[in-house]
């Protein structure tokens, strides 16, 4: 039998090896992610303030790739103040529709121009395969801004003439500052949808991405500045829901709340927002639990082939965030079921 190694032949790369090779190449091109993700308020990225540091873990390797600083009520208050100033006295709500459209289209173009870098950062902290990000979620993020740029050019008021003595004219005006809380299963795609729908109509916002997956959303903030949006129109805070999210939802300067995530958290957000009579838009998940039997497990889900993108479309119960068994794990003959996270 011919020794394949002596013949100069090599075994084909495994999906995990292919993924690691791709990531290494992207790291050489774009550099390492920031060592610490901090808040962005107005036109300023804040310096570290000594708050609690939350590790950001790469689901594919379980290595710590970065950290995010938890923002407490004081930082949230600064962010809301910036959003309120941009709305109450800034130019954004008063710009003609054509001006807002131009900036939204410019932002869409910038997302497309930086698509590969954004996909790389998203892959690092979410475990979603690069192919799915490059063909699905990142183009969706760019499309969000282009879609709403077109939509606001077609909005119109209404006239009611039920009574001969009255002519009722209905027009629409921006509401104020919104608190936008994004999920970890499609961080930039879904969070950008919230941002685009909010600011297109003249509102301003404070964005809180999931603390597990802030990398691409944080980098996106640089593109917001580059697109020319006025300071304070989009602000970023970071941290867990029970600290940062709670402060944002309850803040009296916030008029609107949008949340995507777990059902129990959604209930708490609606209860807190209801005390301030704030309009709330929520999308709740956690309905699709995964049961993974170890005797059927052959490789970690984050090692799925970049060519196929299998396991790639996570709902709020994404398997890739459930910390699957390592590839070197060997099941016992009497293996019991292992349960991933059911809700988030």
CB 156 within 8 A of CB 145: no
What pLDDT, on a 0 to 100 scale, did the predictor assign at position 200? 98
**What is the distance between the alpha carbons of residues 11 and 193, in angstroms, rounded to a whole number?**
43
287 by DSSP, 3-state: which?
coil
Domains of the chain, CATH where assigned:
19-149+169-289 (3.40.605.10)
Give DSSP secondary structure letters for 52-97: PEEEEE-TTT--EEEEEEPP-HHHHHHHHHHHHHHHHTSSGGGS-H
Q: At 109, list the tokens.
A: 């173009």
Q: At 36, list the tokens.
A: 């610490």
DSSP-derived secondary structure letter, 182: -
CB 53 within 8 A of CB 36: yes
Q: What is the pTM of this model?
A: 0.82
158-182: pLDDT as tens digits: 999 988 899 999 998 999 999 999 9
What pLDDT, on a 0 to 100 scale, did the predictor assign at position 331? 39
Query: For each of the chain's 344 residues, which pLDDT tens digit applies?
Result: 445 445 455 678 877 777 778 778 888 999 999 999 999 999 899 999 989 999 999 988 889 999 999 999 999 999 999 999 999 999 999 999 999 999 999 999 999 999 999 999 999 999 898 889 999 999 999 999 999 999 999 988 899 998 889 999 999 899 999 999 999 999 999 999 999 999 999 999 999 999 999 999 999 999 999 999 999 999 999 999 999 999 999 999 999 999 999 999 999 999 999 999 999 999 998 666 777 777 655 554 443 433 333 333 333 334 444 444 333 333 334 333 333 333 33
What pLDDT, on a 0 to 100 scale, did the predictor assign at position 315? 39
**What is the distance between the alpha carbons of residues 259 and 114, in angstroms, rounded to a whole number?**
26
Q: Which residues of 261-291 are buried (b: 16+ CB within 10 A; e: fewer)?
A: bbeebbebbbebbeeeebebebebbbeeebe
Listed residue (54, 36, 85) closest to 206, CA to CA: 85
């Amino acid at each position: 039998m011919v020794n394949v190694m002596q013949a100069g032949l090599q075994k084909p790369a495994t999906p995990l090896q292919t993924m690691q090779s791709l990531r290494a190449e992207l790291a050489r091109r774009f550099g390492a992610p920031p060592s610490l993700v901090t808040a962005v308020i107005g036109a300023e990225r804040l310096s570290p303030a000594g708050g609690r540091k939350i590790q950001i873990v790469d689901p594919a390797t379980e290595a710590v790739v970065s950290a995010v600083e938890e923002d407490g009520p004081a930082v949230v208050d600064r962010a809301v103040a910036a959003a309120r100033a941009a709305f109450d006295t800034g130019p954004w709500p008063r710009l003609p529709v054509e001006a807002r459209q131009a900036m939204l289209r410019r932002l869409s173009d910038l997302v497309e121009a930086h698509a590969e870098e954004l996909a790389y950062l998203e892959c690092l902290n979410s475990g979603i395969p690069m192919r799915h990000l490059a063909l699905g979620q990142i183009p969706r993020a760019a499309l969000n801004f282009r879609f709403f740029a077109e939509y606001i050019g077609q909005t119109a008021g209404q006239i009611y003439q039920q009574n001969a003595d009255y002519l009722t004219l209905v027009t629409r005006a921006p509401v104020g500052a919104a608190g936008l809380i994004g999920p970890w299963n499609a961080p930039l795609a879904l969070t950008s949808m919230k941002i685009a729908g909010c600011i297109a109509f003249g509102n301003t916002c404070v964005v809180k991405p999931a603390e597990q997956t802030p990398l691409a959303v944080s980098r996106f903030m640089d593109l917001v500045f580059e697109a020319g949006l006025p300071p304070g129109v989009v602000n970023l805070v970071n941290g867990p829901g029970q600290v940062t999210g709670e402060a944002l939802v309850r803040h009296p300067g916030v008029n609107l709340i949008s949340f995507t995530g777990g059902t129990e958290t959604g209930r708490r957000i609606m209860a807190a927002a209801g005390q301030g009579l704030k309009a709330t838009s929520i999308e709740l998940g956690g309905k699709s639990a995964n049961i993974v039997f170890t005797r059927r497990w052959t490789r970690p889900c984050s090692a799925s082939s970049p060519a196929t993108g299998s396991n790639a479309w996570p709902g709020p119960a994404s398997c890739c965030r459930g910390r699957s068994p390592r590839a070197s794990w060997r099941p016992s003959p009497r293996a019991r079921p292992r349960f991933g996270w059911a809700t988030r």
